[in-house]
Amino acid sequence: MGNNLVQITVNQAKLSIIKGDITQQATDAIVNAANSSLMGGGGVDGAIHRAGGPAILEECKQIVARQGRLPTGKAVMTTGGNLKAKHVIHTVGPIWHGGGKGEVESLESAYRESLKLAAENDLASVSFPSISTGAYGYPIEQASRIALGSVISFLRESVTSIKEVVFVLFDSRTFDIYASALQKIVAKKE
């Protein structure tokens, strides 16, 4: 377990990466790698709806009825239903099309918009999955640098209610790639 956890502090906030199942996290919010329909799907999206129960989908439907599909890079918040987390922040990462279709900016935006929403709602802790690196096909090495970099720059820019951000990575390969990306980021700062 000891070396299965990497942690840094940014501007009074703790950023850590762990291997695990995000549906079991007890942070104030967990982030869902949703699709624009907000109607649930496979991967982490399906797991969150299964674990959280129908209240989450109910609220997603109301949001879509009110404002339409959720554009890539944006975020909305619902109840956490039966989850330990009180809230689910649904964001839509980019589908990988080779890197020339604004994928970097969209992925950065998905992380930043999620954190912005958490801060606007005075939340103290947020868990993220590895957005876009499953069905959406974003290469994990690149995605890991963007994910960590976006969160670190958000935290560095201003002190908000957010005191803890956790990346909850489902498989060893993804965890290892995030761990080495974080080491590199930390090494560059020193």
Residues 40-79 that bind ligand ADP (CB under 6 A): 43-45, 47
Q: Where are the beta strands (DSSP E) in 22-105?
A: 29-33, 75-79, 87-91
φ, ψ at 31 (rounded to 5°): -100, 135
Q: Which stretch binds ligand ADP (CB under 6 A): 4-12, 53-61, 70-78, 163-171?
A: 163-171
Q: In the Cβ-directed half-sphere of 104, how many Cα atoms lie within 13 Å?
A: 7
Is 106 or 174 the residue whose CB approaches ligand ADP more closely? 174
Q: Residue 94, interface with ligand ADP (CB under 6 A)?
A: no
Does 170 bind ligand ADP (CB under 6 A)? Our answer is yes
Q: Is residue 132 at the binding interface for ligand ADP, with CB under 6 A as the rule?
A: yes
Which among 3-11, 81-89, 126-134, 158-166 is the span making contact with ligand ADP, rule CB under 6 A?
A: 126-134
Nearer to ligand ADP by C-beta: 33 or 160? 33
Active site residues: 45
If one asks whether residue 81 binds ligand ADP (CB under 6 A), the answer comes out as no
Query: Segment contacting ligand ADP (CB under 6 A): 3-11, 16-24, 71-79, 144-152?
Result: 16-24
d(CA 152, CA 185): 10
CB of 135 to ligand ADP, least distance (A): 4
- Confirm or reject binding of residue 130 to ligand ADP (CB under 6 A): yes
* Distance of closest approach, residue 142 Cβ to ligand ADP, in angstroms: 13
Whether 114 contacts 91, CB under 8 Å? yes
Q: How far apart are CA 64 and CA 74, in angstroms?
A: 13
Encoded tokens for 111? 């992380």
Contact 70/38 with Cβ under 8 angstroms? yes
Pairing relationship of beta strands 75-79 and 6-10 according to DSSP bridges: unpaired
Count of residues in contact with ligand ADP, rule CB under 6 A: 21
DSSP letter, residue 100: -
If we measure between CA atoms, which residue out of 79, 63, 81 comes closest to residue 71? 63
Distance CA 97, CA 115 (A): 25
Q: Enumerate binding residues for ligand ADP (CB under 6 A).
A: 21-23, 33, 43-45, 47, 93, 129-136, 168, 170-171, 174
